[in-house]
């Protein structure tokens, strides 16, 4: 699977992280792992690897909804599939779908199984020609769908923003002070609106921050960067790495 650069959302800052475009050029029936990044996903599958083909039938785009990922999660694709993936802050996806996000953790399921009306709405805005036109139409539709955010979601979003801004280095006490709730309430709200515990979310963001930093410190030993991000020792980092990526850090390479 070949990935294109990420495209920022112009209409929903803080709600849509970015969009990714994937063009599948390998043999059909393959799969690609989705790794934990601290976002939920809305995946638009378009048949044929061509930007000149518009979506006019009732089947495509085939839209999947995925929650927070805590381990490598496979996504199947066919030869010549063309994908647009919207990275959505989980608590906002909760406000859109009105379901407990725990139901979607480590899963990708058809949107029609959750909300047929929403699936029809999103499909209708995809009848464009180029990928840029599709992205623009999808982004505009999301600006309408995410118009009003419930107060509870807005409050939890502040806690999520704190974790992301700290690159996963803030403490749970810092999060509690931001959200003004008890630890039990915070965990219950995270499970309901994000799909994972605040501790798991912190771990995911910290780990991704390490990987991002490694791209900037290509000549520095991996463990040195990990220690800078609060890992106790090498064993602690290796254990997290295996859980999140499914393979040891010795097999990791910085591109």
Model confidence over 173-231: pLDDT tens digits? 999 988 888 999 999 999 999 999 999 999 999 988 888 887 787 777 777 888 888 88
Mean pLDDT of 97-102: 94
Q: Report how far residue 96's alpha carbon sits from residue 162's, in angstroms, rounded to the nearest whole number.
A: 22
| Chain position carrying tokens 């949107």 | 111
Please say whether the beta carbons of 243 and 207 come within 8 A.
Answer: no
| Chain position carrying tokens 């859109």 | 96
Fold of 151-251: Arc Repressor Mutant, subunit A (1.10.10)
The per-residue pLDDT for 26 is 60
The per-residue pLDDT of the chain, averaged, comes to 83
Range in 4-18, 53-67, 132-146 the model is least confident about: 53-67
The per-residue pLDDT for 167 is 92
Asked if the model's pLDDT at residue 57 lies above 70, the reply is no
Mean pLDDT of 32-53: 76
Extract the tokens encoding 25.
Answer: 């050029």
Asked if the model's pLDDT at residue 123 lies above 70, the reply is yes
The per-residue pLDDT for 56 is 46
Mean pLDDT of 40-49: 82
The per-residue pLDDT for 117 is 94
| pTM score, whole prediction | 0.86
Q: Report how far residue 34's alpha carbon sits from residue 72's, in angstroms, rounded to the nearest whole number.
A: 6
């Amino acid at each position: 699977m070949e990935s294109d650069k990420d495209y920022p959302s112009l209409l929903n800052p803080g709600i849509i992280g970015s969009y990714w475009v994937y063009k599948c050029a390998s043999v059909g029936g393959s799969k690609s792992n989705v790794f934990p990044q601290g976002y939920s996903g809305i995946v638009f599958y378009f048949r044929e690897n061509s930007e000149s083909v518009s979506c006019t039938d009732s089947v495509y785009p085939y839209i999947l909804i995925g929650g927070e990922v805590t381990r490598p999660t496979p996504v199947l694709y066919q030869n010549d599939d063309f994908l647009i993936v919207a990275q959505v802050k989980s608590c906002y996806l909760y406000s859109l779908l009105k379901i407990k996000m725990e139901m979607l953790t480590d899963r990708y399921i058809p949107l029609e199984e959750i909300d047929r009306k929403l699936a029809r709405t999103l499909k209708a805005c995809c009848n464009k020609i180029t990928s840029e036109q599709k992205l623009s139409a999808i982004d505009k539709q999301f600006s309408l769908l995410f118009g009003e955010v419930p107060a509870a979601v807005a409050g939890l979003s502040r806690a999520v923003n704190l974790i992301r801004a700290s690159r996963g280095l803030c403490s749970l006490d810092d999060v509690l002070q931001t959200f003004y709730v008890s630890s039990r309430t915070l965990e219950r709200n995270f499970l309901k609106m994000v799909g994972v515990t605040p501790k798991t979310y912190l771990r995911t963001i910290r780990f991704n921050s390490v990987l991002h930093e490694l791209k900037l410190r290509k000549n520095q030993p991996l463990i040195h960067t990990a220690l800078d991000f609060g890992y106790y020792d090498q064993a602690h980092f290796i254990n997290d790495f295996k859980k999140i990526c499914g393979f040891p850090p010795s097999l990791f390479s910085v591109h």
